[in-house]
Amino acid sequence: MTNSSTHIYLNPIRSDRVEDFERFLEAVKVAVDAQRPDLRDRWHVLRAAGPGDKDSGVTTYAFIFDGGDLDADWDLNVLMPARYGQEEAGRLMSEAAGTYATFRDWVASLGEHDE
């Protein structure tokens, strides 16, 4: 049975590392297209645009996955090594991990808020 849920994930990326993160997304796209062409049109990436992104130091990305099982279908720990091999996939994913902003910086980038 196919899961018809839509999954949404928000990812805080350091604004000074956006280009690196987007290169990683291109590698993910290649892996998905090669390993799971059935998922090709079932995921979307949205990048928040606002005047405060550079000032705040954090750019938020939203990922929308249409259906499927998060572990069985969307796990990058499976998709990336299948395309790039274990060593290169590990390198790519490690570099991507370095682009993430801290939760504290992300929350601070949202401006004033209730504690």
Residue 19 corresponds to which tokens in the numbers above?
């280009």
For the segment 59-114, what is each residue's pLDDT rounded down to a tens digit? 999 999 998 888 888 899 999 999 999 999 999 999 999 999 999 988 888 776 55
Decide if 31 contacts 80 (C-beta within 8 A). yes
Question: Which pTM value belongs to this model?
Answer: 0.84
E strand spans, 18-102: 43-47, 58-66
- In this predicted structure, the answer to whether residue 1 has a pLDDT above a threshold of 50 is no
Q: Percent of the chain, pLDDT > 90?
A: 70
Instruction: Look up residue 75 and give its DSSP letter.
Output: -
pLDDT at 108: 86
Mean pLDDT of the chain: 88
- In this predicted structure, the answer to whether residue 51 has a pLDDT above a threshold of 70 is no
Q: Compute CA 64 distance to the chain's CA centroid, rounded to the nearest angstrom.
A: 10
